[in-house]
Chain A
């Protein structure tokens, strides 16, 4: 029961929900649909009980009462609740998520714009987290009970205990304000904002496509701090999981056999044991990636990072419900998608799981 830590346990359960072995594809789709509808309904209801007048965001405080009433009607807010929800759902099935009041763009366009920012940050953070977390975990497992193990453990626990908004502020204070090693909030220096056409929406890729190395390095200097901070959190988690998986493997008989056979310790650890650990680790990594993709609201706020988390939060605080609902659908889809993917990978790679 407790062989893996809570997060991975949850994650596997969360993942398997949607693809239980033996369940038919239809059943999976049906349960997905129900989850989605439920997600939308809950979000929708939250939007309706917000003590914020959604018309206010559209017309402002000084509009005349006549304009106010007209816009309220246009937004469909005088219809009964069930009708509003029904209308909303039927529009979604036609691919129309409505317009955001705040940006006056179709919600889908907004999401296409903000999601790459989150994607870029999450991907880089995961890359850093994985490339440092796995070696750290292996190192701790080899040195179980010695000081490297303790250091990894303490660093890991510290990662779970650090308020991310505070770490972000401190990072900005030290590395941007005092030392000047990295650039400040935002994805690019203000002046460069104009010079980049979003092709993929990923700043690091777009700048390379345009072949402008100045811009590329500028983008790097902006993303590196928030990505490192997010990476620390996934690193802490991945290192810890790697360690416990590795310990499990190292106590297996085949390792003993290998040692007896005289295979080098190095090879045993990095090839055999780690090779077997990679399978369960994929779930762990996928989970941490999924949680980053949901948009780290606080990090995005601190670093003025125009991503999904910031978008949903801003919309929520302005009762811009189309935007909130659209964002929630995307987050839900990402979450479910990554989980399913990791589950599929898990079953493809691990023969034992194919039972």
Chain B
């Protein structure tokens, strides 16, 4: 179990007598290295970060969920069943009996109604996911209500596609929280928001033990979980930013799972017999945003040519190496209506002739705001090289993540290379940002990606809105397929890859579940040999 090591350090001749180091982690505890410094809150009504979503996914239950392998299959979690009224505007959920919160309180329809109302009332970042169905702080208490202790009724303002509404409820904002517990900690009418930011009031398979921002997050198993207690009694997540450090910790057996290894680390431990991998396609897309404020980029020919000037294969194989697959439409594979063909590939000659036809045979110069992380920088440099072959001089402007994003959001870029993750599992999440822009003015009130790139998608805005009201899933899928093809052809986006998440773990770890988004990565089934 324990090995004694003598430390002779740095030639100081300082000998420490004996230092114990754990050779492996205990059988009923899971230790994981994960970059969790993006967590800024633990309140499900505010959580909008990847690792925060994963925390909520493991500690809070939602009304409904979907099958990770076939997202079209929905199942009840806290709700046992649901009905949609004839006019498509009233949703009724039956609440499961016998669920208890960590506090010991019973979970009722009242808690579910309160949780959803609270999202709208607090109006934090993810509130729009529910708000888009016509809920406002003024009307939400009437529109979402518990009619008795096991019935939740929700009235939306338009006859939306039921799948749209239901998918939104599977998102983090659908988490059911303990009304009594939260209100006991209310301060100045904040619905317990300040308290819940660093505390816990849920009913999920795990409960919060301790969160130390930027350092660690630890969970304890809920022994009374209605769907069976997890085998791991404790989950300790340590914030480790460096991929190389994660690799080491994993190799040394200090941790069971490393979450953020990059291509090179994975290649280096691939042959290690103590390590195995689990991968799952995620919803996040890598893309270039081409600002239409730039005179060159606003030419349709240039937009088309640039799509032929990315070495999709080369980047996927060397730089991303297993961490992404080529994907060029705005809906990631796995989404309803996703278009999985990839019509563009590197073709310098073709791009050159398109540019020549547009009178740009001599090329031009543009800049690209690039986040200075290894993978993005390497992608940018590859793109720089292939564009140079067509005479386009690409200047990379590196910056810290928040810095490049600030510039992008202010429409001050030429080109932005970035990553976009869907907010919920319904196709509208990406359609409403890639193909929808009701107001292209600088002071618009809605600022989707199309707006950031100063692109007016014309009729597509209305078509996107129409697709949310199509109640036949087949027809709805066809509408999105059409939108994707149009954006692919004329849009200011060079969508390149869909992300694949790879978890690297010790051989003895079984049944870790990765889902299409971070809130469907589950720890509750994990066992260790």
Contact = CB atoms under 8 A, between A and B. Distances in A.
Interface in B399-425: 399-400, 402-403, 405-407, 409-410, 423
B423 A194 contact: no
Given A105-B213, A181-B7, A61 B249 contact: no
A203 interface: no
Contact of B198 (A60, A105, A189): A105
A190 B31 contact: yes
A270 interface: no
Contacts of A70: 123
B214 A103 contact: yes
Contacts of A351: none
Interface in B257-312: none
Contacts of A47: none
A221 B19 contact: yes
B20 A67 contact: no
A295 interface: no
Contacts of A58: 40
Contacts of A232: 10
A69 B40 CA distance: 19
B446 A65 contact: yes
A319 interface: yes
Interface string B1-27: 010011111101010101111100110
Given A64-B128, A102-B214, A103-B40, A51 B10 contact: no
Contact of A56 (B41, B214, B402, B444): B402
A127 B191 CA distance: 50
B414 to A, nearest CB: 16
Given A191-B22, A194-B209, A225-B10, A65 B445 contact: yes
Interface in A200-232: 214, 217-218, 220-221, 224-225, 228-229, 231-232
Contacts of A66: 123, 445
A229 B40 contact: no
B53 to A, nearest CB: 11
Given A64-B128, A132-B12, A186-B238, A181 B5 contact: yes
B347 interface: no
Contacts of A62: 48, 125-126, 423
A184 B245 contact: yes
Contact of B10 (A176, A228, A317): A228
Contacts of B25: 190-191
B463 to A, nearest CB: 21
Nearest to B235: A194
B470 interface: no
A249 to B, nearest CB: 27
Interface residues of B, number: 68
A269 interface: no
Contacts of B5: 180-182, 221
A239 to B, nearest CB: 13
Given A56-B405, A60-B48, A228 B125 contact: no
A103 B213 contact: yes
Interface in A141-193: 171, 175-177, 180-186, 189-193
B254 A184 contact: yes
Contacts of B10: 171, 175, 225, 228-229, 232
Most buried by B among A51, A185, A220: A51
Contacts of A75: none
A113 interface: yes
Interface of A is mostly: helix
A182 B19 CA distance: 8
Given A51-B403, A181-B5, A104 B19 contact: no
A47 to B, nearest CB: 13
B333 interface: no
A110 B214 CA distance: 11
Most buried by A among B2, B25, B48, B407: B48
Contact of B41 (A104, A189, A214): A104
Contacts of B20: 214, 217-218, 221
Contacts of A49: none
Interface string A54-83: 001111111111110010000000000000
Nearest to A306: B215
A349 interface: no
Given A60-B49, A67-B124, A193-B238, A104 B406 contact: no
B197 interface: yes
Interface string B117-151: 00000011111100100000000000000000000
B213 A183 contact: no
B125 A59 contact: yes
Contacts of B41: 104
Given A190-B238, A228-B14, A60 B125 contact: yes
A193 B249 contact: no
B110 to A, nearest CB: 27
Contacts of A182: 5, 7, 9, 19
Interface of A: 51-53, 56-67, 70, 100-105, 110, 113, 128, 132, 171, 175-177, 180-186, 189-194, 214, 217-218, 220-221, 224-225, 228-229, 231-232, 304, 306, 311, 314, 317-319
9 contacts: A51-B407, A63-B48, A103-B213, A175-B7, A177-B248, A190-B216, A191-B22, A191-B29, A217-B20
Question: Which 8 pairs between the two chains have the least Cβ-Cβ distance?
Answer: A103-B213, A63-B125, A221-B19, A228-B10, A53-B406, A190-B238, A64-B128, A60-B48
Given A189-B254, A221-B21, 11 more contacts: A51-B406, A59-B124, A64-B128, A104-B198, A180-B5, A181-B8, A190-B31, A191-B26, A224-B7, A304-B245, A317-B400
